Structure 1
């Protein structure tokens, strides 16, 4: 299954495992890379030396390409970039910031750079910054999200009209059928997050994994737009946020309620009441916890089956 994305990253299948905070450590990333897709370490929840440790362990666990995702709002981003360069990481995904800040510096060190965007406007800015590819992430996605609430299957063709560099679709994709649909609309590959949260190798807490598996349509909601839009599973913390909105809240009150380490408490430590539980709308389609290799195998099988059905239907 060779195309622009497989050639760009040197992988077998055009699937990227999203670099998610508190879920995407070296075990998940190396398992993804060993399964023929691009594994990505999520650096957003790591201290610099912890990131170094994860990179070194990932290099020992796989001979295949892997990357690192860095949210550009990270307070010690200079240190993270130094570690990435010194450890010889070849692929970096940047998000939540201006791609011009680091793209040229990374590319000067021979690093392939991909930037995550949520709109055509930011896709064009990323292209102008010189990135090698973009992840176009729709409103359905888990974690931090765009403010415009543009859905994935609306965003992909709009971005495709404007840019020629490779496009990776993200948001609401957890099956081979979803992968095929995204590629028909113009994506060269897909980024998958939520499905890999419910994998055996993800570092997310088993309580969180089980809650994701048990979730259904309507159990997530995009909120906290005044801070950084984030899609959450509904729990006590979510209800506390909504109670503030109901009375007419301020940004300062939201910051005070959020506090520190709220996401760690929920996704990594397993506090399902007081924790921040970030996951995508597609969680309603996730019904089991599986090894990464099986998740990838299922997606490719579903993709090929859906493609055959599409071809047969087109003959009538």
Structure 2
């Protein structure tokens, strides 16, 4: 399938693996790249020297395009950007910050830039900054999210109606059916996080993956809106946060409860009760741990089947 996204990135399928903290290392990114999608290394959970190691290992594991996701509000951004340029990374996804800060720098060095947004205001701002594409991420998504709580079904057509650059849909997409729906809403491609978080190549802890597989409908909740909105799997830590918010806790109190390295504790080290477990609502649909290539192939095959089925419907 050739469209604006496959041509922009030089990939076979318009399927992008999200740059998730503690899950998206070089093994996952290279596996998705080799399968025909766009794999992304998530720099948000990596010190600069660790990122350098992952980039070099990814380059050794694939000849296909891959990207690095950089949360702009995180520390060491200057060092991260230098590594990206020095190592010849050709695609960068920026998130959690102002795209005006780094877009010109990256594009001036021949790098394709994509920015993640959760509302129409920032979609227009990102386009005005000169990014090559945007990821429009709905309320269903895991990890950092939008305060407006706009669902993907509403967000994608609103964004597609006001920007001219390619739009990648994210949030609640973990199947071919959901991908087809996103494309019908106007998206040029999809970004998928949760479904790849449970891939064999994901660097997430095995107990975190099992917790995702066991998740049922309603087992995630958007929290921490006074700090940075994040969707969490329910556990003892999440219960404490929810209760604190119900009691009217301010930002400083929530930050104190969160502490340091809470996401690492849960997602990477496997403390499934006291750790922060970031995942999307689509976790309730995920039933097994499989290789990334198999996940991508399954999504694409279902997309084609559903596309053909709908084409045969007589109205």
The TM-score, its normalising length taken from structure 1, stands at 0.99
- Deviation larger for 133-142 or 244-253: 244-253
In structure 2, distance between residues paired with 1:296 and 1:243: 38
Equivalent residue of 2:161, what SS?
A: helix
Match of 2:180 in 1: 180
Match of 1:16 in 2: 16
In structure 2, distance between residues paired with 1:238 and 1:266: 11
In structure 2, distance between residues paired with 1:241 and 1:115: 29
Match of 2:272 in 1: 272
In structure 1, distance between residues paired with 2:111 and 2:8: 11
Deviations 1:36-85 (A, max 9, x none): 00000000000001000000000000000000000001111000000000
Match of 2:197 in 1: 197
User: Cα offset for 1:242?
Assistant: 1.7
In structure 2, distance between residues paired with 1:150 and 1:244: 24
In structure 2, distance between residues paired with 1:126 and 1:209: 33
In structure 1, distance between residues paired with 2:274 and 2:174: 27
Which stretches in structure 1 are left out of the alignment for 5+ residues? none
Equivalent residue of 2:191, what SS?
A: strand
Match of 2:230 in 1: 230
In structure 1, distance between residues paired with 2:21 and 2:246: 29
User: Cα offset for 1:250?
Assistant: 1.9
**Consecutive aligned runs of 4 or more in structure 1 exceeding 6 Å deviation:** none
CA RMSD across the alignment: 0.6
In structure 1, distance between residues paired with 2:169 and 2:247: 37
In structure 2, distance between residues paired with 1:249 and 1:284: 29
Q: Say how many residue pairs are matched.
A: 315
Match of 2:5 in 1: 5
Deviations 1:150-207 (A, max 9, x none): 0001000000110110000000000000000000000000000000001000000000
Match of 1:53 in 2: 53
Q: Is residue 2:119 matched to residue 1:119?
A: yes
The residue correspondences of 1:1-316 to structure 2 (distance < 5 A) are 1-313=1-313, 315-316=314-315
In structure 1, distance between residues paired with 2:72 and 2:307: 37
User: Cα offset for 1:302?
Assistant: 0.3
User: Cα offset for 1:246?
Assistant: 2.8
The TM-score, its normalising length taken from structure 2, stands at 0.99
Which stretches in structure 2 are left out of the alignment for 5+ residues? none
